[in-house]
Amino acid sequence: MTTNASTTSSSVEAREPGKTAHVDHQGLTFWESVSLTVARLFTAWLLALLSFRGLYRFGCCFGTIEWLINHRRRRRFGAMLRRILERELSTRERRQLTREFFMRTRCDKLFYLVTDCVSRDVAASLLTIDNRHLLDEALARGRGVYVALSHHGAHHVIAMLLALNGYKTAGVRDRNEGALRRYVQGRFDRRHPEFRRMRVLFADSYPREIYRCLQEGYMLGSAMDVGRLRNDSQKTEEVTIFNEKRRFLSGPLHIAIRCGTPVLQAFIVSERDFQYRFDIVETLIDPDEVTNEDEAVGRAMHAYAANVEKYIRSSPTLLSRM
């Protein structure tokens, strides 16, 4: 899964050139650590007071307030809706979808803050895996599974829920990770030390790390619908999505084929009361049926793009990148 992890560092550069800020073992500045700790304590108090259902409703109210006051983000989301839906929305429809987007993102963040409070039993009740048989059958081959994700849904939440449900997970993320994710991952590692096997690979790391994870039977996920390429050596495939020509990452698919690893495509859905659904839509590549690697990757990438386009149009409020 696309996930996140704490990073270790003795110091980081402050925002002002030439100065440094005191950081903890997770690369957080003193004020980042304090502010996130206060926010987490408050959220944990609300959870104890209101239960998950009550905290979810609090998050919806909080998100509605953000929707009312954050005009810039509201306009950005409205412009994105017009682009992906390819039509003008009525004022009522635009307001409804935009408000749902704000509520969903706020609730995901609140839940993520208290992920370390979630037990295995609770995690099992909060996670649903559609077409689980595709995942379990692929893992049973013993060569890992690559899950092709997109910027759709709360990757960081689903990675932890999958780990708590017993899956060996690994993910690829940007090296410049946000403070919230590093803070929460650090707490999760301390609360659940048995899940330190959850691995995190950086997007600019060497492919051999991906090979190693797949050979050890991990479920490895990353988003292939990147907005920019980090270097010219990354393999890509041109696809058409929303009537635009885009280049999506295809390197992981080549690696999966060479490792004999099945490739699945999945989406992440946030539902009411912090219920999360991991929707596995299809097997993009069965390595045992591949006769020509480039052709297999080309077909898989075009199927991937078509699924992303269809899914986003059906549930635009689940986008995680604008």
Domain ranges of the chain: 1-322
pLDDT at 16: 42
Q: In this prediction, what percent of the chain has a pLDDT beyond 90?
A: 56
DSSP run (H or E) holding 65: helix 30-69
List Cβ neighbours of 144 (8 Å cut-off, separation of 6 or more): 213, 214, 215, 216, 217, 218, 219, 220, 259, 261
Q: Which amino acid is at 66?
A: E
3-state SS assignment for residue 144: coil
Q: Where are the beta strands (DSSP E) in 109-211?
A: 127-130, 145-149, 169-173, 199-202
pLDDT at 102: 97
Mean pLDDT in residue range 65-89: 93
Each residue's pLDDT tens digit, 6-25: 333 333 333 344 444 455 55
pTM of the model: 0.85
Mean pLDDT in residue range 166-180: 78
Each residue's pLDDT tens digit, 190-225: 877 766 545 666 656 667 778 888 888 899 988 898
Residue 63 has pLDDT above 60, yes or no: yes
Residue 138 has pLDDT above 70, yes or no: yes
Residue 308 has pLDDT above 60, yes or no: yes
Q: Which amino acid is at 220?
A: L
Q: How far is CA 114 from CA 129, 164, 200, 262, 280, in A?
A: 22, 14, 20, 33, 26
Q: In this prediction, what percent of the chain has a pLDDT beyond 70?
A: 84
Q: How far is CA 65 from CA 76, 106, 110, in A?
A: 17, 10, 15
Q: Is 115 or 22 the better-scoring residue by pLDDT?
A: 115
Mean pLDDT taken over the chain: 85
pLDDT at 119: 85
Q: Considering only the C-alpha atoms of the chain, give the largest distance between any 2 of them, rounded to a whole number of Å.
A: 58
